[in-house]
Homo-oligomer: A and B are copies of this chain.
Amino acid sequence: MCTLIIHELSQPHFLKRLRIALTLYPPLVLVLAIFFAVATAIAALSSPLPHPLDPLSPTELTAVRSAVLAFSLVASRPISFHYVGLDEPEKPDVLSHTNADAAAILPRRAFVIARAGGLSHEFYVDVTNTSAVRVVSHGIHDGPGFPMFTTEKQVAAGQLSREYPPFRESLQRRGLALTDVGCGVFSMEWFGKNEARRLAKVQCFIVAGGTANYYARPLEGVTLLVDVEKLVIVAYRDRAAYSVPKAEGTDYRAGKAGPPFNGAVPAPGVVVQPEGKGFHIDGHIVRWANWEFHVGFDMRAGTVISMASVHDADADLWRRVLYRGFASEIFVPYMDPEEEWYFHTFMDAGEYGLGVSAVPLQPEADYPANAAYMDGYYVDADGKPVKSENIICVFEITEVRPDVTLVVRMVVTVGNYDYTLDWEFKTIGSIKTVVSLSGILEMKATNYTHVDQIRDDIHGTLIAENTVDVYHDHFITYHFDLDIDGTKNSFIKNTIIPKHNTGVRATSGAPTPRRSYWTVLYEVAETEAEGQVNINGAPADLLFVNSSKKTKVGNEVGYRLIPAGATATSLLANNDYPQRRASYTKKQVWVTPYNKSEK
């Protein structure tokens, strides 16, 4: 797991790129290695049979729904589906499967999280034989926490205020009509109380005024507490009235925004590939240059890259690199302790779902002309499959040859934020994940119209009249299951150690005028504690190696983890509730042994 963090002050509409890169290490001294597994897979994958890691098809999702609804031990109705995804087969089975007869399909299972009777149910459903789909395991989640929101309940909860007299009075006092406002669900997070009801906060925005950017126009000071499942208002608070920021100048839509977003755009450049695309997509398998990998989709994680292997031309063999990788969480704590803001400490993947929030990509705007795209399927609250079109695209970026990059892109819109999540592959063997943050700021209304009026901490920047951009962080976490040249991998920390004065000696024993140099301390992580790294500590190279595969001169074959962007640790107090939920944000790298249940 690797978390990248930026502390965000106020840079509206500017793409901030957080990069982490996996780089082949050392790239030129790879040894020969035998990978029949992957080499054979290529032949097998051309068959119409699903790959063991293919996401569930609409047919499979429909069958899963029927099986859950028919499961006699859960009688409560309604059953609300919050997550349905592939329960991946055991890794050894997936690896050995690709060695075996293509006709031998691995058992296919779905993992389901559903709410019924005020409880969270977990189902495993066997869908191997679509004519005999059945629940093979059922359990009730025991403990605090809730699954992702469903879109349906979010929409319905946002409507609750409309018929609520105190809310109507609040609007009236502010001279607003019901049609002027729209409300949305904000997770209230955990602040020490374990609540059986699924409560959430509802906050509202002014949607009238001719701008699409209602996030710029909050109805500050008004908060509803709702039961999202029962769809009832539990509490209401109209703490104070604030000036509503103007609509003027806030619209971001093409044609509405001013320069430099419109206007000064130079003559268009178009990438053409006279010899055709360099990549080929076969089902969910992408093949490009010396790379082959599987692109999956998950309602929570979005894009999932699996079984990425690089071709070793010297040995004419495929060598495994990454068994599975995905964005596992995006934690976004805001830094305002005010009544309406303290709980704004979102977990975008776990609460809203990156896959569910993925938006259809717009040709030319979101990707270049030479791209191909893929669809994804998730389920609605009723368990029925929903097709999400054009949400993953694959394209090559050629600046100069041979430095061509293959990009797998998804854009996730969680509330006000757009995350462009890219996987970049290069022929030198590197994999890079790039997150570009865009979209709209979450803004707070204030009565201030000029910084000279400010006397207290407004917990943000006054970016326009009556508008504060509240300080916040984005902690984006990836899960990488590296299988470099096989599953026996070790984590190495090569720490740079300065040697000063009396410690300085030439190897030959000859005198030297140098009074310092640095050298490298090689350490293999033996425990999970040694697998935790603060990358802002002593300078170190973080390597993932396969100790059983050595180069000719005896170096281990591996990859290097390069944090190529701004990284930080969380500055929240260890005893603060959001920090206790996101305790992993105090270190950027956590290396643990493989355990399927700890995904």
**Which residues of chain A have a CB within 8 Å of any CB of chain B?**
7, 9-15, 17, 23-29, 191-192, 239-240, 258-261, 263-279, 288-290, 311, 313-314, 335-339, 342, 364-368, 370, 396-404, 406, 427-430, 449-452, 456-459, 461-465, 471, 494, 496, 498, 500-501, 504-508, 510, 512-520, 536, 539, 541, 552-555, 560, 562-566, 568, 571-573, 575-579
Contacts and interface: CB of A to CB of B under 8 A. Distances in A.
Nearest to A14: B27
B399 A507 contact: no
Nearest to A339: B510
A265 to B, nearest CB: 5
A554 B452 contact: yes
Nearest to A276: B267
A183 B313 CA distance: 36
A268 B261 contact: no
Contacts of A342: 506, 512-514
Contact of A579 (B12, B290, B429, B516): B516
Contacts of A290: 259-260, 263-264
Contacts of A314: 258-259
B450 A516 contact: no
Contact of A397 (B9, B191, B270, B399): B399
B29 A11 contact: no
Given A342-B512, A461-B26, A520-B471, A267 B278 contact: yes
Given A272-B269, A508-B240, A191 B513 contact: yes
Nearest to A288: B266
A507 B261 CA distance: 36
Contact of A268 (B9, B259, B368, B401): B401
A13 B29 contact: no
Contacts of A501: 573, 575
A271 B277 CA distance: 14
B462 A519 contact: no
Which of A23, A313, A514, A552 has the most B CB atoms < 10 Å from its CB?
A514
A12 B519 CA distance: 18
Nearest 5 A/B pairs, CB to CB = A266-B278, A269-B398, A259-B313, A516-B573, A451-B554
A451 to B, nearest CB: 4
A192 B512 CA distance: 13
Contacts of A15: 403
Which of A288, A429, A519, A541 has the most B CB atoms < 10 Å from its CB?
A519
Nearest to A428: B260
Given A192-B513, A269-B398, A450-B554, 4 more contacts: A266-B278, A271-B271, A459-B507, A462-B555
Contacts of A7: 496, 518, 539
Contacts of A366: 400
A582 to B, nearest CB: 12
A539 B568 contact: yes
